[in-house]
């Protein structure tokens, strides 16, 4: 189940997963330090166990502490999340999603970024996507 969309997660579980992805790995204390309005330490540990039971996290024992890592790579998780957003909010239209991202961007794209996007569009055309 680790590679499924994270639709089975509560808001707090998603926040914890965001912390673990951002840090790469984390202890319960590190998760707690990075959560907005964190619950108690025991609640964080319970949520980490739940996420492990759901297949989203695994842990290694390092000394007396458990260090948690995601079971799905950040790249795969971001791909799953993007696919979900495109399907849910843009009726599956990648072009509408890209247009929305370009319109919503707070920063101007550099010439290098524009060139990279243009190359990716050309490659997609060649591959028939």
Q: What is the CATH number of the domain that holds 55?
A: 1.10.10.10
| C-beta of residue 66 within 8 angstroms of C-beta of residue 59 | yes
Q: Which two tokens stand for residue 80?
A: 């799953």
Residues 112, 59, single domain; the answer is: no
Same domain for 101 and 48, yes or no, is no
Hey, which residues does 65 pair with through a beta bridge? 62
Domain count, the chain: 2
Digitized pLDDT (tens) for each residue of the chain, 129 residues in all: 334 445 578 999 999 999 999 999 999 999 999 999 999 999 999 999 999 999 999 999 999 999 999 998 888 878 887 888 889 889 988 888 888 888 876 767 788 988 998 898 889 888 887
CB 27 within 8 A of CB 69: no
**Hey, what's the torsion of the CAs at 15, 18, 19, 23, to 10 degrees?**
180
3-state secondary structure of 23: helix
Residues 52 and 64 in one domain: yes
Please tell me the pTM assigned to this model: 0.67
């Amino acid at each position: 189940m680790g590679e499924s969309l994270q639709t089975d997660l509560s808001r707090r579980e998603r926040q914890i997963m965001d912390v673990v992805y951002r840090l790469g790995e984390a202890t319960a204390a590190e998760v707690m330090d990075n959560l907005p309005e964190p619950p108690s330490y025991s609640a964080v540990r319970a949520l980490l166990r739940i996420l492990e039971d759901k297949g989203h996290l695994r842990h290694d024992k390092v000394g007396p502490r458990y260090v948690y890592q995601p079971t799905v790579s950040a790249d795969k998780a971001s791909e799953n999340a993007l696919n979900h957003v495109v399907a849910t909010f843009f009726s599956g239209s990648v072009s509408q999603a890209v247009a929305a991202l370009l319109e919503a961007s707070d920063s101007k794209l550099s010439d290098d970024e524009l060139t990279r996007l243009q190359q990716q569009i050309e490659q997609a055309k060649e591959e028939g996507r």
